[in-house]
């Protein structure tokens, strides 16, 4: 049995397209759990209408009050784990969709690889409420038996989403999403990897992610960046800090976490928590060279102070002489 968990909040406009795209997967043993997170729009009624039309396939959980994305997902996970009928769990956000014939080849791959506890598949960002569909490609799947190798080689920290993955149900026995934390997927994925025997990455299938200009990713505040930094530091110590100093992939990962750290310092005024790593500039893409050079010349604390003083509407190269002059006067 495949259980598809769909949290619903203020998405009456996109819910029908989302549910239709899942039902069109034509998976015989599949159930949809629509979790109404006390949505104030017409979405709860639409959820009930879908369940009435497909009583054998769709169930609705009405939350008594709005608890956020994590609480909604957890409510469905509790039901699935309690009933014990589900083999595979996946998630779909109610403003997103699936390309046709996405789940069938993924389930086939998991059946072929019984030790794979998590499968990650392709996704494509589409404009909000856009109806265009493009499928994945035929790149051969990659199998990982080591979580650190998967995290660094696939740069999983840049796509730690819950929704473009299929999970063996057993992974969720002791794991839930953190309630009232933003960037909850980044907090959760490393914990799931702790229980994974193998991870499979494939380009089969396509999750159609609708970019929302009003979403948390586009409008994060200091508290949101603090949550992302907290999760990123945990993952860095688990997968990055233990890597060899000559590990190019770890250097690239460090620069990713550094960006998060600098942005949080800028918004909060606090000192950096990320440990210093002497990254190798030749190992970095060109767009990281200047920042990597400043890191080596100034050190992390001074770089964070300098970065915090800069205006966001100017490129880094413009601010370089201005910022260094200010630092010399500080």
148-192 pLDDT tens trace: 999 999 999 999 999 999 999 999 999 999 999 999 999 999 999
- Judged against a pLDDT cut of 50, whether residue 205 lies above it is answered with yes
Task: State percent of the chain over pLDDT 90.
Answer: 78
- pLDDT-derived band at 326, boundaries 50, 70, 90: very low
How confident is the model at residue 132, as a pLDDT?
39
The more confidently predicted of residues 130 and 264 is: 264
- Judged against a pLDDT cut of 50, whether residue 133 lies above it is answered with no
| CATH T-level topology, domain 2-210 | Spore Coat Polysaccharide Biosynthesis Protein SpsA; Chain A (3.90.550)
Token reading at 304: 């964070």
How confident is the model at residue 325, as a pLDDT?
44
Structural domain boundaries of the chain?
2-210, 222-329
Q: Which residues contact 25 (CB under 8 A, 6 or more apart)?
A: 98, 100, 101, 102, 103, 104
What DSSP letter does each residue of 160-193 carry, written as one string? --STTEEEEGGGGSS--PPTT-SSHHHHHHHHHH
- Judged against a pLDDT cut of 50, whether residue 131 lies above it is answered with no
- Judged against a pLDDT cut of 90, whether residue 286 lies above it is answered with no
Q: Which residues contact 227 (CB under 8 A, 6 or more apart)?
A: 181, 182, 183, 187
């Amino acid at each position: 049995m495949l259980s598809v968990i769909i949290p619903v909040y203020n998405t009456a406009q996109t819910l029908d397209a989302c549910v239709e795209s899942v039902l069109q997967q034509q998976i015989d043993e599949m159930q949809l759990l629509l979790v109404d997170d006390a949505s104030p729009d017409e979405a709860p009624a639409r959820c009930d209408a879908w369940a009435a039309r497909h009583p054998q396939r769709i169930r609705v959980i009405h939350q008594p009050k709005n608890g956020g994305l994590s609480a909604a997902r957890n409510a469905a996970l509790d039901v699935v784990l309690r009933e014990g009928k589900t083999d595979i769990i996946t998630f779909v956000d109610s403003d997103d969709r699936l390309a046709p014939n996405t789940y069938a080849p993924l389930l086939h791959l998991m059946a072929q690889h019984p030790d794979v506890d998590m499968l990650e598949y392709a996704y494509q960002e589409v404009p909000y409420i856009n109806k265009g569909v493009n499928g994945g490609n035929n790149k051969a799947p990659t199998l990982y038996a080591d979580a650190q190798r998967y995290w660094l080689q696939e740069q999983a920290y840049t796509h730690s989403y819950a929704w473009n993955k299929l999970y063996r149900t057993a992974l969720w026995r002791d794991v839930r999403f953190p309630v009232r934390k933003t960037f909850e997927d980044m907090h959760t994925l490393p914990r799931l990897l702790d229980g994974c025997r193998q991870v499979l990455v494939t380009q089969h299938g396509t999750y159609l992610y609708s970019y929302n200009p009003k979403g948390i990713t586009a409008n994060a505040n200091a508290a949101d960046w603090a949550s992302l930094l907290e999760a990123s530091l945990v993952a860095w110590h688990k997968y990055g800090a233990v890597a060899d100093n000559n590990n190019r992939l770890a250097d690239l990962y460090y620069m990713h976490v550094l960006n998060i750290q600098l942005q949080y310092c800028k918004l909060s005024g606090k000192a950096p928590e990320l440990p210093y790593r002497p990254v190798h500039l030749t190992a970095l893409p060109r767009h990281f060279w200047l920042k990597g050079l400043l890191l080596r010349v100034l050190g992390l604390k001074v770089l964070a102070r300098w970065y915090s003083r800069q205006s966001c509407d100017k490129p880094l190269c413009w601010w370089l002489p201005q910022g260094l002059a200010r630092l010399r006067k500080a």
